[in-house]
Structure 1
């Protein structure tokens, strides 16, 4: 694998990002939704900004910042902080291909999103399923603060425990 770069997502990245998403789902079970229409899931109309990691012309990672859509993490943070939807966004759709891990790409993608959000005066929140322990370790290492716990509902009324986090202050 060549030296990966992080750059803003553009329309021509969609097929490669969708293929990477399907691959990550096959190896990690993440995401639990969106795999049946990976392009639609990645290119949601709620995306405010997104970045990819690319190596040798192949998309190997992705992250996006999304407008709030009633997520528990958003509600928890708004209740705790008093922020409104104009000042909160959701870090979402973070994934890195298995063969591209160990290059800190997840961290670099998150830092790109965090830097963008700080520049916009937006506080990022997220929820992560408790089974995704390496993601939880990454968030904690980057200073994200646990703000609560919830149950993530997906698919045909399936449920799994999740933890809600808020990004550190700028």
Structure 2
């Protein structure tokens, strides 16, 4: 799947008609729908951890260090999101860099990945993850991410897809008393 083209992915088995998942670049016009999707999925996923957010949700979605972002649509409705951000040259970047065996500038972070509750289990999250990873690989960069979902679905999916844990760290966005987030690299 290329990151520069609109991609269509169909999910596994289903009734006679399975809606295609369409991935495309995020636009400013997508933000209101993404705010609604993020809010709808938050009670079940716990993501983001602080809810309601102490700042506008649009600032959570559009990060200052963002390089590119995509949305997923099913039947024309926005149902998911992912972005790629740069990796900071700080203590977190140092953990990923050591784990990947590459300098920070050769890494890219998969960020703000979520799927609305009505679209879960249809391959949307996997398609979003794939487009972000393909984008980074096309640039010769190594994908990294962090996950606070130590024993949950997201963590298990990443490990199943070949990501490996390279460290742990506490981030300012984590809930009080939560264990450190795991920092993962896709070799």
TM-score higher than 0.5: yes
Consecutive unaligned residues of structure 2, counting only runs of 5 or more, are 1-17
2: CA distance, partners of 1:159 / 1:59: 34
Residues 104 and 81 of structure 1, relative CA distance in 2, 3 Å threshold: closer
Q: Does 1:158 align with 2:176?
A: yes
Cα distance in 2 for residues equivalent to 1:35 and 1:75: 31
Alignment CA distance shift 1:93-1:71 (3 Å): farther
1:112-151 matches, cutoff 5 A: 112-131=131-150, 133-151=152-170
Does residue 1:4 correspond to 2:21, yes or no?
Answer: yes
What number of residue pairs does the alignment pair up?
Answer: 167
1:39 maps to 2:62: no
Instruction: Compare CA radii of gyration and give the structure with the larger one.
Output: 2
For the residues of structure 2 that align with 1:61 and 1:109, how far apart are their CA atoms? 8
Q: Which of 15, 25, 32 does residue 15 from structure 1 map onto?
A: 32
Match of 1:20, SS state, is: helix
Separation (CA, whole Å) in 2 of partners of 1:81 and 1:63: 21
**Alignment gaps of 5+ in structure 1:** none
Higher helix share: 1
Distance 2:125 2:58 in 1: 20
TM-score (norm 2): 0.79
Superposition RMSD in Å: 2.3
| Equivalent residue number for residue 26 of structure 1 | 43
In structure 2, the residue matched to 1:50 is 69
Per-residue CA deviations over 1:51-108 (Å, capped at 9, x if unaligned) read 1111122211111111123675532121344533321121110101111111111111
- The structure with the largest strand share of the pair is 1
Question: Aligned to 1:18, what secondary structure does the other structure show?
Answer: helix
SS in structure 2 of the partner of residue 154 of structure 1:
coil
Inter-partner Cα distance in structure 2 for 1:21 and 1:11: 16
Paired residues of 1:126 and 1:166 also in contact (CA < 8 A): yes
Alpha-carbon distance in structure 2 between the residues aligned to 1:34 and 1:9: 23
